[in-house]
Amino acid sequence: MYKTIQLCMLSLFAFLLAISSTMAEEGDQDSKKLYMTKFCITCHGEKGIAVAPNYPNLAKQNELYLIKQVKDIIQKKRKGKLTVLMTEHPVINRVQDNEIAAIAAYMKNIKQ
């Protein structure tokens, strides 16, 4: 009886682990799609490594830091030349908070 319970618990754990892994991969794909369609990829590269030295790398950055930076850009709290270019792009003004959070989480965990 005890071995049957152990086997059931082990099977349940394996099942839950498989589901959570699949859900995480799907979430990563959705976040990656946002990263690409919101034009972040244009300056910050496919893997979050900037395409030019004057653009910051986003890969492996702190999630809350990235969220704050994007919100500061949208609210025009930052005054740098590159930031002004971003605020002029119509996409940046339509990015929702949940999309910003998803992209930041993707960048924090991006696989290089």
Pair 102, 37: CB distance under 8 Å: no
| pLDDT > 50? residue 17 | no
SS3 annotation, 73-103: HHCCCCCCHHHHHHHHCCCHHHCCHHHHHHH
**Residue 57, amino acid:** N
Q: How is domain 26-109 classified at the CATH fold level?
A: Cytochrome Bc1 Complex; Chain D, domain 2 (1.10.760)
pLDDT digits (tens, 9 = 90+) for 25-78: 445 678 889 888 888 888 899 999 999 898 899 999 999 999 999 999 888 888
Domain edges within the chain:
26-109
pTM: 0.69
What's the confidence (pLDDT) of residue 15?
37
For 100, other C-beta atoms within 10 Å of its C-beta total: 19
